[in-house]
Amino acid sequence: MSTTSSIERGARRADPASPPPKRLTVPALRARKGADAEPLVMITAYTARMAQLLDPHCDVLLVGDSLAQVIYGLPSTVPVTLEMMAAHGAAVVRGSAHALVAIDMPFGSYEASPAQAFESAARLLKETGAAAVKLEGGEAMAPTVRFLTERGIPVIGHIGLTPQAVNLLGGYGARGRSEAEAAKIVADGVAIADAGAFMVVIEGVLEPIAIAVTDRIACPTIGIGASAQCDGQVLVGEDMLGLFDRTARFVKRYEDLAGRISAAVEAYAGEVRSRAFPNAEHLYQPRV
């Protein structure tokens, strides 16, 4: 009797006759630096099904704490918990097989001390199977980044506009408009990279700042509202797919899924109300 599973071919890990493809690794992604390297593709994912759809096209799936707004309708990322990140991180790992999966460390789970950060990061990696964590902050977080990487936890940094600090920043406007702040952002990027981050996200900064950081550090930079000269780009998947009407200036909408979903549900509702659905092909009849 064949042991080959009847599960759809897209779910290859469930098929014992088809070993899973090898995931991208931290060293492989860290090497993708410079103008001659293929730019890195990163998109956020929060569910297994979305991970299945995004995985073949991405190098990194980021389980972002942006799930606060996208999934839970919260006003900011501040209320996100470790439990929320772990649950969604595990779902994304189960739904993917190719991309490296990284998970945002939520506000309050790493800032107090390097030891707190290690405990939180270790929990996320153990409970999800993800390969890396991402944390926000610049020079002040460099000792924490070093502490984690020296203990075997790969770290992605995040500088510039840091959403977890929205209460301190006073909003989501672009950062680096003063010379002092621009210099600070560059210094933040250098400090985080020197501390061992294998990748640094640069969000919502004036383009010359993103270029300066990209030129100064040895690991890849990932832009989001930064510059095409970064070593890769990231967007919130639901934003670029057009599921939300209001998005940041740096978002390009590649599809209008909100409109298509609305039209599909309108058609379904109309058929239900007219009793056109379900019809014979959707129903079970007694066997003769």
Known catalytic membership, residue 203: yes
Instruction: Report how far Cα 218 is from the mean position of its chain's Cα atoms.
Output: 22
231 is in an annotated binding site: no
Please name which of 85, 30, 95 lies closest in space to residue 56, comparing C-alpha atoms: 95
CA 227 to CA 224: how far, in whole Å?
8
Q: Residue 73 CB: number of other CB atoms within 10 A?
A: 7
Burial label, 34 (beta-carbon count in 10 A; 0-12, 13-18, 19+): exposed
Q: Are 110 and 135 a contacting pair, CB within 8 Å? A: yes
Place of tokens 């060293």: 27
The answer to whether 136 is annotated as binding is yes
The CA distance from 243 to 261, in Å, is 9
Query: Any binding-site annotation on 36?
Result: no
Check if the beta carbon of residue 169 is closer than 8 Å to that of residue 162. Answer: yes
Give me the residue label for tokens 């569910």: 47
Q: Is 65 annotated as a binding residue?
A: yes
- Check whether 104 is labelled as a binding-site residue: yes
Distance CA 43, CA 57 (A): 10
DSSP character string of 165-181: GHHHHTSS--B--SHHH
Omega before residue 16 within 30° of 0, cis: no
Catalytic site residue from 8, 203, 255, 266 = 203
Name the one residue in this structure whose structure tokens are 């934003």: 239
Q: Which two tokens stand for residue 79?
A: 């209320």
Task: State the catalytic residues.
Answer: 203
Q: Which residues are annotated as a binding site for 3-methyl-2-oxobutanoate?
A: 65-66, 104, 134
Q: Which residues are annotated as a binding site for Mg(2+)?
A: 65, 104, 136
Q: Which residues are annotated as a binding site?
A: 65-66, 104, 134, 136
